[in-house]
Structure formats: structure tokens, C-alpha cells
């Protein structure tokens, strides 16, 4: 059974950094697409960064140049390094996986329904 578990959220001042982790288990192949979503109170969920099976990455304009998505396949862990954080980055962050080996949807419009497996989320709060 596929399972994802995020960690690493917390509170930080504007300009600070955080690294989110997403431990992935139960996936039997390497052909999957991973994405980080976030949802702020009162706002729609948006994709912020994805990592395709071939290693290609994409970012939403709102985080490009500040966030970096990466993966350690030995540790089965996806990361989101977040630098130069802004108050508008405050949100619940979820990692999600699509193991269908189909198209790897890119942020920010990646549809929730394309990703079958989700973590429980980790809160990031950035104060000004």
C-alpha cells in the first residue's frame, strides 16, 4: 500500500528557510510523478513544484527561484527546500504521488484528481 508522510513544517520569520520532507513507501516502480501542493486558508489548493520520473522539475511562478524540489531515492524521500520565505507562503503543504506512469502534471494547475496518494500535510507559517 502506498503511503506518504510529510515532515519539516514549522514557523519561521520572513526571509528564513525550511526544508519539507515526504517519505514515500509502498511504490514498486520508479515511474511515478511527485508534487508538492499547498493550500492557504480561504484559497484554492495550488501545485508549487513537481518532479517527474525522468528527473524533470517544474515550479509555479510564485516559488520559482526560491524553492527546490529534489528526491533521495535511496531514502525514498522527496524534499522541498524553501528559501527566502514570505508571509504569503503560509499554508498547509502536502506531497502527492501519481503512480499511473501517465502524464506528470505540472504546477500550478496540476489537478488534485491526477494524484491518487497524498500525505496528511505539514503546516508552514511565515511571519513578517
127 close to 11: Cβ distance less than 8 angstroms: yes
* Grid cell of 53 as nine digits: 520520473
pLDDT for residue 46: 95
Residue positions counted in the chain? 128
Computed on alpha carbons and rounded to an integer, the radius of gyration of the chain in Å comes to: 14
The model's pLDDT over 67-114, given as tens digits with 9 standing for 90+, comes to: 999 999 899 999 999 999 999 999 999 999 999 888 999 999 899 999
Q: What's the rounded Cα separation, in Å, for the pair 106 and 57?
A: 8
Strands 122-127 and 10-13, bridge-based pairing: parallel
At residue 114, φ and ψ (nearest 5 deg) are -75, -15
At residue 85, φ and ψ (nearest 5 deg) are -65, 145
* Grid cell of 31 as nine digits: 515511474
Strands 91-98 and 122-127, bridge-based pairing: antiparallel
112 close to 37: Cβ distance less than 8 angstroms: yes
The model's pLDDT over 8-58, given as tens digits with 9 standing for 90+, comes to: 999 999 999 999 999 999 988 788 999 999 999 999 999 999 999 999 999
Amino acid at each position: 500500500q502506498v503511503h506518504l508522510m510529510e515532515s519539516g513544517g514549522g514557523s519561521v520569520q520572513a526571509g528564513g528557510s525550511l526544508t519539507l520532507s515526504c517519505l514515500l513507501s509502498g511504490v514498486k516502480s520508479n515511474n511515478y510523478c511527485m508534487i508538492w501542493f499547498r493550500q492557504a486558508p480561504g484559497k484554492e489548493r495550488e501545485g508549487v513544484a513537481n518532479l517527474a520520473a525522468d528527473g524533470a522539475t517544474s515550479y509555479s511562478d510564485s516559488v520559482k527561484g526560491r524553492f527546490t524540489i529534489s528526491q533521495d531515492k535511496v531514502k525514498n524521500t522527496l524534499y522541498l527546500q524553501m528559501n527566502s520565505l514570505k508571509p504569503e507562503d503560509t499554508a498547509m503543504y502536502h506531497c502527492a504521488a501519481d503512480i499511473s506512469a501517465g502524464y506528470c502534471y505540472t504546477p500550478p494547475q496540476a489537478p488534485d484528481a491526477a494524484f491518487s496518494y497524498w500525505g496528511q500535510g505539514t503546516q508552514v507559517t511565515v511571519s513578517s
